[in-house]
Chains A and B, each alone.
Chain A
Amino acid sequence: MKILVVDDEHDVKTLFEQRFRKEIKSGEIDFVFAYSGEEALSYLAIHKHEAVLILSDINMPGMSGLELLKQIKQKYHEPPPVVMMITAYGDAENYKTAKELGADDFLTKPVDFIALKEKLKITN
């Protein structure tokens, strides 16, 4: 399963690689990282339908996670990738907007990796 993680914090890459090292080692999950919404879109444009799951931060400079979500849901219909939104502000407003834009799930920072793993198993 290929997961695209979108976050402006570069160390998120190391963090995910460490947290999921067993899953990565076993080839269960394959991570790709993008550091902005724009970067994520250009990756998706080239590698169509590769990523099954997109995990995106909302609060990013430039294109926000919500904008990215909107564009993904507009551009990619069949099969639509699962998009989970992560934000530091676990507020109702962002939650509502994300839901309206078609977000499949919503995570609040700090990310509970055990819960995330459970969710991924279900998605799988």
Chain B
Amino acid sequence: MILQPVLAILILRFYRKCFKKEDIPRNWKNIYWGSTAFAILLFLLFMMIRESRTIVSWLGHIFLLALIYKGYNSPKLKNARSALNAFLPVTLIYFIIDIITAIDKSFYKTWENYFDVAGIFAFIWMIAMLIISNKQMKAIEKERLKTEEAERVNKITQELKAGLEIQVSERTAELTAQKEALEQTLSELKATQAQLIQSEKMASLGELTAGIAHEIQNPLNFVNNFSEINTELISEMKAALDAGNINEAITLAMDIDDNEKKIIYHGKRADAIVKGMLQHSRSSSGVKEPTNINALCDEYLRLAYHGLRAKDKSFNATMKTDFDNSIGNINIIPQDIGRVVLNLLTNAFYAVDEKKKNTKGSYEPTVSISTKRIPIPGKINGAKVEITVTDNGNGIPNEIKNKIFQPFFTTKPTGQGTGLGLSMSYDIITKGHGGQLKVESKGGEGSQFIIILNI
């Protein structure tokens, strides 16, 4: 029978389909090619050598059955089972026919028709089953391709995702680094700003100390001189008393008394100046206390003036004051308001000095400070206090008028201006005291800074 090798080759083809092309296990490849070669060999032997037909036929049966057995037995060949179901009846029928023929040929002859019919049925069965199985295999193949495609897409997605994740984490790291760098810069800036504010304070303190040295020298000279004079006068008085010259002694005593008053006055003056300096250098207490605003303005006017004089010998200006004595004490943080007044005055002196340097003809640099109590209509106790610092310098051009209160805005050469004076002043007046700081200026004619405090 020529059928077995042909069936074997067909079955092997089904087995082959159970694996993906790329990943047929090596031993399966061997089995496949070995078996196929063996089937072809059987086929050729059967066709060429008549005498071998019987043995080849039996070998074919055994080979085929072994192959089918293997198919049912191996989990990997699960997909080929429906094909095996198609081949099984044919295989068995012809195997049985051959066995019966071998045992009793007459029996076979008697029942040959039935065997033929069974064979035909087995064949029809085989073909039908193969068609079905083929369809199934195709469906399975399709399904497999689909899952493979899905897997492939999935794999690509995974790869993309991983790539993206790497990118995202790289970006995140970059952003975090940037953020940290910015935070670092910000904190450095804050530190620098604090330092600058401190140095603005120190700069104005430096201006003050020079002024203070001058301011304190005069009262100290008076204290020393009047003390010396009093020592002389006392010995003269003793001498007069010894001589019995009572009238002269009385006159001398009156002089001594006058001098003593001067000593006390100038001693207190020096004391107040030192206190003022300490107050300025001390960080603000932040506490409002009743303060004589006129005295404060006067003191800072002198300090600012002499401070500038100490730095620049040629500097000179006329100072004018106009204080409203009806103000009395007002509740302010004295160090802070003092700082503002000092800033405004320093700016004013600078402005007149600049103008003086650039003016050929007669120009009298003048800086004035005035205070004024302004009653609020309808409120018996409510009033405002205006502190005005006026200069006849070059004024502030309109283009920069809205910038002068910005931190670090300065038109002065490096080293001479920090640009923090007015911004600090603005904060102290508006935030610290709920007041207003206004500027009025006509180009070329001078400027006026007005502090308005509610009391």
Q: Is residue A80 within 8 Å, beta carbon to beta carbon, of the partner chain?
A: no
Residues of A within 8 A of B214 (CB): 59, 88-89
Q: Is A18 an interface residue (CB 8 A)?
A: yes
Which of A62, A64, A97, A110 meets B225, CB within 8 Å? A110
Query: Any chain B CB within 8 A of the CB of A100?
Result: no
Q: Tell me whether A88 and B218 are in contact (CB under 8 A).
A: yes
User: Does A9 make an interface contact (CB < 8 A)?
Assistant: yes
Chain A, interface SS category:
loop
A-B contacts at CB below 8 angstroms, number? 55
Q: Is the interface of B mostly helix, strand, loop or mixed?
A: helix
Question: Judging by beta carbons under 8 Å apart, are A14 and B221 in contact?
Answer: no
Q: Are A15 and B313 in contact (CB under 8 A)?
A: no
Per-residue contact bits, chain B 126-161, to A (CB 8 Å; 1 contact, 0 not): 000000000000000000000000000000000000
In chain A between 42 and 82, which residues have their CB closer than 8 angstroms to a CB of chain B?
59, 61-64, 67
Contact in complex: A14, B217 (CB < 8 Å): no
Does chain B have a CB within 8 A of A109? Answer: yes
Given contacts A59-B306, A59-B309, contact A9 B218 (CB under 8 A): yes
Residues of A within 8 A of B222 (CB): 9, 11, 15
* B370 beta carbon closer than 8 Å to chain A: no
For residue B266, CB closer than 8 A to chain A, the reply is: yes
Shortest beta-carbon distance, B263 to chain A, in Å?
10
B262 interface residue (CB < 8 Å to A): yes
* Tally of B interface residues using CB under 8 Å: 26
Check if A61 sits within 8 Å of B221, measured CB to CB.
no
B316 lies within 8 A of chain A by Cβ: yes
Please judge, given known A-B contacts A88-B217, A93-B313, whether A18 and B259 are in contact too, CB under 8 Å: yes
The answer to whether the Cβ of B317 comes within 8 Å of any Cβ in the partner chain is yes
Q: Mark B282-318, 1 if CB is under 8 A from A, else 0.
A: 0000000000000000000000011001100100111
Do residues A110 and B221 form an inter-chain contact, with CB atoms below 8 A?
yes
Per the CB 8 Å criterion, the residue count for chain A at the interface is 22
Q: How far is the CA of A64 from the CA of B221 in the complex (A)?
A: 20
The answer to whether B229 touches A18, judged by C-beta atoms less than 8 angstroms apart, is yes
Contact with A along B308-340 (1 / 0, CB 8 A): 011001001111000000000000000000000
B164 to nearest A CB, angstroms?
A: 74
Assembly CA distance A14 to B220 (angstroms): 15
**Residues of B with C-beta under 8 A to A113:** 225
Among A9, A62, A91, A94, which residue has the most Cβ atoms of chain B within 10 A? A62
Q: Does B224 contact A (CB under 8 A)?
A: yes
Whole-angstrom distance between the Cβ of B302 and the nearest chain A Cβ:
9
B221 touches A18 (CB 8 A): no
Knowing A9-B218, A18-B255, A88-B217, the reply to whether A61 touches B225 (Cβ < 8 A) is no
Give Cα A113–Cα B225 distance, bound, in whole angstroms.
9
Q: Is the CB of A61 within 8 A of B255?
A: no
Interface status of A19 (Cβ within 8 A of chain B) = yes
Among residues of A, the one whose C-beta sits closest to the C-beta of B215 is: A88
Query: 1/0 per residue A96-124: CB within 8 Å of B?
Result: 01000000000001110100000000000
Residues of A within 8 A of B (CB): 9, 11, 14-15, 18-19, 59, 61-64, 67, 88-89, 91, 93-94, 97, 109-111, 113
Query: Measuring CB to CB, which residues of chain B are less than 8 angstroms from any residue of chain A?
Result: 213-214, 217-218, 220-222, 224-226, 229, 233, 255, 258-259, 262, 266, 305-306, 309-310, 313, 316-319
- 3 residue pairs, one from A and one from B, having the closest CB atoms: A110-B221, A18-B229, A62-B318
